[in-house]
Amino acid sequence: MITIVFYILSAITLGTAFLTILSKNPIHSAIYLVLCFFSIAGHYLMFNAQFLAIVHIIVYSGAIMILMLFTIMLMNLNKEDERHKPILSRIAAVVSFCLVAFVLLATFIKAQPALREYKVSGQDYQSIQVLGKVLLNDYMVPFEFASVLLLVSMIGAVLLSKKEHINS
Amino acid sequence: MDQAIIIEKGIFIVAIFAITMLFAMYETLAERKIAAWLQDRIGPNRAGPGGILQPLADGLKLFSKEEFFPATQNRFLFICGPAISMITALMTSAVIPWGSSLNIMGRDVVLQATDINIGILYVFGVLSIGVYGIMIGGWASNNKFSLMGAMRAASQMISYEVAMGLSIIALTMMTQSLSLSDIAAGQHGWRWNVLYQPVGFLIFLVCSFAETNRTPFDLAECEAELIGGYHTEYSSMKMGFYLFAEYASMFISSTVLAVLYFGAYNYPGMDWVKDNAGANIASILGIGVLFIKICFFIFFYMWIRWTVPRFRYDQLMKLGWKMLIPLAIANIVVTGILILFFDNNLHL
Amino acid sequence: MSIQNISLSGKKIEVSNKKMTFLESLYLVAIAKGLVITIKHLFTRKVTIKYPEETRELSPVYRGQHMLMRDDEGRERCTACGLCALSCPAEAITMKAEERKPEEKHLYREEKYASIYEINMLRCIFCGLCEEACPKQAIYLTKSRVMVKSNTDREEFIYGKEKLVMPLDMAIRNTQMQTAN
């Protein structure tokens, strides 16, 4: 049962991910990406990680992708407006993609083998209380760094939108 | 036993669905009636005694209208729009605790479709994908006014979701749980959250007005500037679905308000009833109390609609970002200080 | 005089761009005041008249369809003097006069009568000036609820004598009632 669900979900994830890249219409690819995010949330649910699944939906589908759709709809992208890219930049894109793919492959091959047996710690990691304790005890520093990063990007956004005002 | 639970939940889900639909149906009538009363009129009173069959007449009218498609290649997305709106409006009711448990034939029947321990986040997740219905519908209409309505809806919803989430954080700091059933149970008797979180309640109320696209925040569909906004191009039952989804989500958000801040199914003197009349009577009374609260909030929505005019777009954004969000953050800080001060003995 | 200084209502007040305080900019007080006003209206008497069941009371000066009256012997009063047509601001009335023959004495009161008397109901504004102008008290605007019956043909709206003159049986009834009194 679970295996069948997993295969269906994976098929949806991969299919929509490919369609995101392949579809000509930017709005359509954005919608395919939303569907992809939903299927990934489904994968999280299969790990019994409810919190992660819901937060993934709220953050990615509910906020980021809506902003993305928002900008795409406002930009009014048409086929006529699409500029022809020079050959050189195409080659550069292909090369950089190959390099990224190489790095990814290397890390996956070098990665630790999949655990065959799961340790039972007795803790309910889908409970947010446990999650909060882990985040603020064991992973305190990265957590705070993430918040500082978000703060910096927020200040940066405000600064960008106020640029003319500062110069004058 | 397993099968019994499936049957029990099945019956329960169908019942909730039916109640939501019934409420949405009669909200359309109630809206017109209340609008009329507040304007010294009588309102629809021809279909059936006192206009009781008016929603059926409206539905019949919508069904018999011509199905119209604009000149667009996105027929599928065009149909998807109202469908997504409707689905998201109905999905939230899965985590609402409609009452404490009932004892039927020796079995404890929990009056909640599913008790996940992140209930509030689930409500938020569904809420945040609700805007897709409007955005996709507005874009697929291939109409500039619809697109503008969709844009407005999206920006408004994103802006107000932030303040809403922040007001909820202050609440969860006090309740120590994200599960709606825990929050409901924690407000036993008179200890309703609104008494401890008045500012948070106010922010949540304003934001839920914005999230359901009701006046004074109905910029997505304002007739004066956008000739109807995102549903300009819709007709027949697809249009009906959009309107119906708005009323269904109004019912659900009234329920969420009642559960989170107005004590859900709790009422003063419930222990006395439980001791004197039995647990089942107390529980059924609790369901009744919850529905009274829901009806009050629905009335409040309509009352506001016929009182306050629509905000201008810049006023809307200013209210969201410059008033509600700082207020919500201040509320979180004050709540945190108070919890520290009273050393977790607040009421938990 | 520039457009800024013109005040058609005579009540122009300077627009004040007053800065709102924080409390005011939350709109809460204003909204609460508004809510109180609207909830008061919930309990006021409704002004709607449920039409087919209830009807509005007619005003004492109500003016409905025209009628050319008969006197107590059943003779038409109109003498086709044309004063009604002259006074009509909408120029709705036309008539053609004719001399009364001796054998028609029981039909017309005066020696001259209107052989054709037409009112164009599409032009008539029911002002009642014809009624005031008439020296013979021949034309009256009745209290009929129906002013003009709907129709699809414009010609049908030109009411001739067959529609305007008081029916004979009505005149007979009036005379009977008068003698009874």
Q: What angle do CA B123, B125, B126 make, to 5 degrees?
A: 65
pTM, two decimals, is 0.80
Q: How many helices (H) and strands (E) does chain B have?
A: 14, 2
Nearest-angstrom CA–CA distance, C105 and C71:
13
C84 has binding-site annotation: yes
Task: Please tell me which of the candidates A55, A57, A73 has its beta carbon nearest to residue B147.
Answer: A73
**Whole-number pLDDT of residue B285:** 86
* Residue at a domain's end among A78, A96, A111: A78
Residues of A in contact with B124 (CB under 8 A): 54, 58, 62
C86 has binding-site annotation: no
Average pLDDT over residues A45-74: 85
Dihedral sign of CA atoms B50, B56, B58, B60 in order: negative
Indicate yes or no: CB of B304 within 8 angstroms of CB of C31. Answer: yes
Question: What is the domain partition of chain B in residue ranges?
Answer: 2-341
A39 in a structural domain: yes
C127 has binding-site annotation: yes
Residue C79: DSSP 8-state: -
Nearest CA-CA partner of B37 in B285, B306, B237: B306
A38 in a structural domain: yes
Nearest-angstrom CA–CA distance, C81 and C137:
12
Mutation choice for B interface testing from A35, A59, A73 by most B CBs within 10 A: A73
CA B136 to chain A, closest CA, distance in angstroms equals 9
Task: Please tell me which of the candidates B34, B45, B323 has its beta carbon nearest to residue C25.
Answer: B323
Q: Closest residue of A to B173, CA-based?
A: A129
Residues of A in contact with B122 (CB under 8 A): 54
**Whole-number pLDDT of residue A76:** 66
Nearest-angstrom CA–CA distance, C9 and C46:
31
Q: Would an 8 Å CB–CB cutoff place A34 in contact with chain B? A: yes
| Domains identified in chain A, total number | 2
Average pLDDT over residues C166-178: 85
Residues of C in contact with B323 (CB under 8 A): 25-26
The distance of Cα C17 from the centroid of its chain, to the nearest Å, equals: 48
What percent of chain C is helix, strand and coil (3-state, nearest 5)? Answer: 30, 15, 55
Indicate yes or no: CB of A58 within 8 angstroms of CB of B121. Answer: yes
- Integer CA distances (angstroms), C157 to C119, C126, C153, C160, in order: 8, 14, 7, 9
Q: Domain containing A67 — which CATH number?
A: 1.20.120.1200
Average pLDDT over residues C33-54: 86
A115 in a structural domain: no
A88 in a structural domain: no
Helix (H, G, I), strand (E, B) or coil at C57: coil
C78 has binding-site annotation: yes
Residues of B in contact with C39 (CB under 8 A): 38, 303
Task: Please tell me which of the candidates C27, C37, C46 has its beta carbon nearest to residue B41.
Answer: C46
User: Which residues of B fall below an 8 Å CB-CB distance to C?
Assistant: 34, 36-42, 45, 202, 303-304, 306-308, 318-319, 323
**Whole-number pLDDT of residue A163:** 64
Mutation choice for C interface testing from B31, B34, B38 by most C CBs within 10 A: B38
Nearest-angstrom CA–CA distance, B95 and B113:
6
Q: What is the pLDDT of residues C29-43, one digit of tens each?
A: 888 888 898 888 888
Of the two residues A148 and B216, the one the predictor is more confident about is A148
Place of tokens 């008290």: C137
Task: Please tell me which of the candidates B40, B304, B308 has its beta carbon nearest to residue C41.
Answer: B40
Helix (H, G, I), strand (E, B) or coil at C99: strand
**Whole-number pLDDT of residue B348:** 46
CA A61 to chain B, closest CA, distance in angstroms equals 7
* Residue at a domain's end among A78, A111, A134: A78
| Contacts for C161 with CB less than 8 Å, ≥ 6 apart | C68, C114, C116, C117, C118
Which tokens go with B27? Answer: 């909200």
Exposure pattern of A74-94 as b/e (b: 16+ CB <10 Å)? eeeeeeeeeeeeeeeeeeeee
Indicate yes or no: CB of A54 within 8 angstroms of CB of B118. Answer: yes
User: What is the domain range of residue A160?
Assistant: 124-168
Q: How many CB atoms lie within 10 A of CB B98?
A: 24
Phi first, then psi, for residue A94 (nearest 5°) are -60, -45
**Whole-number pLDDT of residue A10:** 93
A90 in a structural domain: no
Task: Please tell me which of the candidates C25, C42, C50 has its beta carbon nearest to residue B37.
Answer: C42
**Whole-number pLDDT of residue B297:** 92
Output the average pLDDT for chain A.
83
pLDDT averaged over 10-residue windows placed end to end, chain B, 348 residues: 80 89 90 89 85 88 85 82 88 85 75 81 86 86 83 85 89 84 83 86 90 82 73 84 88 90 83 81 86 92 88 84 88 88 59
Indicate yes or no: CB of B42 within 8 angstroms of CB of C35. Answer: no
Indicate yes or no: CB of B125 within 8 angstroms of CB of A31. Answer: no
Res. A115: pLDDT tops 70: no
* Whether the Cβ atoms of residue B174 and residue B346 lie closer than 8 Å to each other: yes
Res. C63: pLDDT tops 70: yes
Place of tokens 């306050």: B308
Nearest-angstrom CA–CA distance, B5 and B2:
5
Residues of C in contact with B202 (CB under 8 A): 28
pLDDT tier, C27 (very low <50, low <70, confident <90, very high otherwise): confident
Indicate yes or no: CB of B151 within 8 angstroms of CB of A70. Answer: yes
Task: Please tell me which of the candidates A31, A58, A126 has its beta carbon nearest to residue B124.
Answer: A58
Q: Do C and A touch (≥3 CB pairs < 8 Å)?
A: no
Of the two residues C102 and C27, the one the predictor is more confident about is C102
pLDDT tier, A146 (very low <50, low <70, confident <90, very high otherwise): very high
Amino acid type, A53: A
**Whole-number pLDDT of residue A95:** 94
What ipTM does the predicted assembly reach?
0.81
Q: Would an 8 Å CB–CB cutoff place B248 in contact with chain A? A: no
- Peptide bond preceding B70: is omega within 30 degrees of 0, i.e. cis? no
**Whole-number pLDDT of residue A126:** 67
Indicate yes or no: CB of B40 within 8 angstroms of CB of C28. Answer: no
* Whether the Cβ atoms of residue B84 and residue B69 lie closer than 8 Å to each other: no
* Whether the Cβ atoms of residue B90 and residue B24 lie closer than 8 Å to each other: no
User: Which residues of C fall below an 8 Å CB-CB distance to B?
Assistant: 25-28, 31, 34-35, 37-39, 41-42, 44-48, 50
C126 has binding-site annotation: no
Half-sphere exposure for C143 (CA within 13 Å, toward CB): 5
C26 has binding-site annotation: no
**Whole-number pLDDT of residue A77:** 62
- The size of the A-B interface in CB pairs under 8 A is 60
CA C46 to chain B, closest CA, distance in angstroms equals 5
Task: Please tell me which of the candidates B39, B304, B308 has its beta carbon nearest to residue C41.
Answer: B39
Dihedral sign of CA atoms B300, B301, B303, B304 in order: positive
C130 has binding-site annotation: yes
Chains within contact range of chain B (3+ C-beta pairs < 8 Å): A, C
Q: Which domains does chain C have, with CATH numbers?
A: 66-180 (3.30.70.3270)
Same structural domain for residues A130 and A61?
no
Q: Would an 8 Å CB–CB cutoff place B118 in contact with chain A? A: yes
Nearest-angstrom CA–CA distance, B149 and C103:
81
